[in-house]
Structure 1
Amino acid sequence: PPAGLDARLSYYSFDMAGSITETTWQAAKRAADTALAGADAVLSGERAAFALCRPPGHHAGRDFFGGYCYLNNAAIAAQRFLDNGHARVAIFDIDYHHGNGTQEIFYDRDDVLLASLHGDPDFEFPFHLGYARERGAGSGEGHNLNYPLPAGTDWPEWQAAFEDAHAKISAYAPTALVISLGVDTFKEDPISQFKLESEHFLTIGRRIADFALPTLFVMEGGYAVDALGVNAVNVLQGFQGT
């Protein structure tokens, strides 16, 4: 690592969005612990759990942070499932932005399948990664599924990608499921360019329930503050069948 402070920051971070303060580690550790508590609840027999993690995590990789993410909460939870008897885990990332950190962590592994729906990296953060051609390496070949979608994607197009990923996850036959739950696909999200309505999140929750798997929801993004709670709860209510 270089000696200069700014240089050291860029050595460990892929962007300049994540600030470091005296309480950053405490916040990041507690977010990861929240995801672990959710995984442990599912391991103890709960059908599902919702980990309300802040800061989020899916942009953090093995040895880098960025995109407001410091520890990869969903990846840490997935590993908890693997360490406690689950042979295969699927991570379904439905955040608007590509989970580049999650991809990097599991890219060469076959015990975790990652499927990610997101804005095309040709125009959208975090850029550079998230293309359909990135399918894993070594034993992980075919276990990384990216669905980059254009700006302005509305429900029918998004749903078609979701259903394709849904079928591939089912074919993988995981024994546990982690949802990287971003609701920044909402039409009024200020930093995103998809066009989902609040009612669509109910359908998303219902279709996630159709996997009939032990499920952990890990909160990622969502920046339309007034609608954030409504959309996240809609996913959970759809999952519960209410």
Structure 2
Amino acid sequence: MAQQTLAGKVALVTGGGQGVGLGIAQALAIAGAALVITGRDAAKLEAAARDLATLGGAGVAVYAGDVRQRADADAAIAVALERFGQLDVLVNNAQSSKPGTLLEDIDDDAIALTLESGLLGTIRHMQAAFPHLKARGGSIINLGSREGIYGGIGFGIYAATKEGVRGVSRVAAREWGRYGIRVNVICPAALSPVAIQYLDAHPEQAEMYRKEIALGRFGDPHADIGPVAVFLAGDDSRYITGQTINADGGQVML
């Protein structure tokens, strides 16, 4: 059995029903955390919760809502408090987008969807979690992207959103450090369902991406990204805040 480094901690993972969010939730559960996973698809969340419950964590709760809505951010935090009595870790993973459109062709609907789900959803969940993390300290883990750092073609608003997430994470790290709240960013290169769909539709770009990865492969959400989140969630990273970790096999080197 894996070491229970997160025993006694409660984590909320947005978009935890699939992909990178589910991979992170699996790793947190194995490390002993109690979990709340959120998303828009209740059936998908319930299926994920059944899987997570077998991994040795301290319990799983679900909340089906839309990260774009402030009321749903507040309600998701309330689920953690009602079910487990506390909140220690917030993972802002949820993100909707329509990649593959050149900047001059992006319409207002795509702009709103991407910004509201990613940047604004992240900010609203951070705000909702703040009073509870302030009382006991904790860890916020936000998801960035190599597309923001690198500036990938066809990812204009997505890149802006993810760099916005990195920016607000640095500000929060400075403002909230006095309360023992650490705020860090993971930029993953992992095969989530959305990533697989995009790469399958753009095979030449997929091969280009793969060649850029020093380790020669795309990451696994659970095996490769999850342990990074466990590290940032736990006490072993107690002196790390305001940082970006590129968990991408050496695709982006700063």
Structure richer in helix, relative to its length: 2
With structure 1 as the length reference, what TM-score do the two structures score? 0.42
With structure 2 as the length reference, what TM-score do the two structures score? 0.41
